[in-house]
Amino acid sequence: MYYVVTGAAGFIGSNLVKALNERGESNIIAVDNLRHADKFMNLADCDIADYMDKDSFFGKLGDGFFDGLLAAVLHQGACSNTMESDGRYMMENNYRYSLELLNYCQNEEIPLLYASSASVYGAGPVFKENRKYESPLNVYAYSKFLFDQVVRRRWDRRTAQVVGLRYFNVYGAREAHKGRMASVAYHFFNQYRADGYVKLFEGCDGYAHGEQLRDFVSVEDVVRVNMHFLDHPGKSGIFNLGTGKAQSFNDVAVATVNTVRASQGETSLTPEEMRQQQLIRYIPFPEQLKGKYQSHTQADMSALRTAGYAEPFFNVEQGVARYVTYLLGAST
């Protein structure tokens, strides 16, 4: 039997492939679109049974090629560019392909774990898995929101496990290919190494400079939650996947800078000391993001905890330090 990971050469997908390898699984079909070829590097240290282009995979799926061969599908493939303006492409790539996978997995009684997104909540103050709190601000968020609605409508007729994970702000290894869409931890690390300082947005929506709050979650925790549901096929649902604690962009910057400083034998600095020394600098808030920006996110984790996931999550200070240490090792 084979595991399918879509978006396998991407950020979260490649971490899931590696995690399956660490569990002794190499019968993995990696599905992706390598139009941006450099993503292959994320799979270079992984063991897979086959790689398939996204279009070829869905063609074979429709032909029945995989009938009786699949143990589970971990569907991470999507266009994650929140600034994408081609709505037809976004809906075809994120919504329609997901719907095809859902139909196939339900017909064949195959567990489906898929990537949803915290963006479905829009600018609302409540981040709980309930329709009344969901109000997407862009077409990316809408594509994720709409698929979640299909899953809900079919809930009572499901034949196999279906798990939607609403990822909050994920950071960690194997995200370099994402460019400007990579996490702020990644960008802060590279800015500090190149220029000796990091750049944060000035305040907006009533928040002070760099004090916008997000639920930053390590990809290590994201992987552990996915593996938990693979191990518990009787558990289904749509779940937030954050830490349950909002922290500021300043917190990420401080953790990044201090971890690099520690690696160089330098003492840690307070946020105020970093500002005084111009190690943290603030730039104007982009006009194109006004009205489309989540200045505060914090996952309500009660549904995931009720479903039986009891492990602690890394906070920014812990998770970013681990990630920066990884980046330092990778850059030597």
State the Cα–Cα distance between residues 149 and 280, nearest whole angstrom.
42
State the Cα–Cα distance between residues 169 and 43, nearest whole angstrom.
23
Print burial letters for 56-93: b (CB count within 10 Å at least 16), e (below 16): ebbeebeeeebeeebebbbbbbbbbbbebeeeeebbeb
State the Cα–Cα distance between residues 225 and 219, nearest whole angstrom.
10
Residue 317, token pair as written in the block:
């200070």
CB 250 within 8 A of CB 198: no
State the Cα–Cα distance between residues 138 and 264, nearest whole angstrom.
42
CB atoms under 10 Å from CB of 204, counted, come to 17
- Amino acid identity of residue 91, one-letter, is M
Catalytic residues, by residue number, are: 140, 178
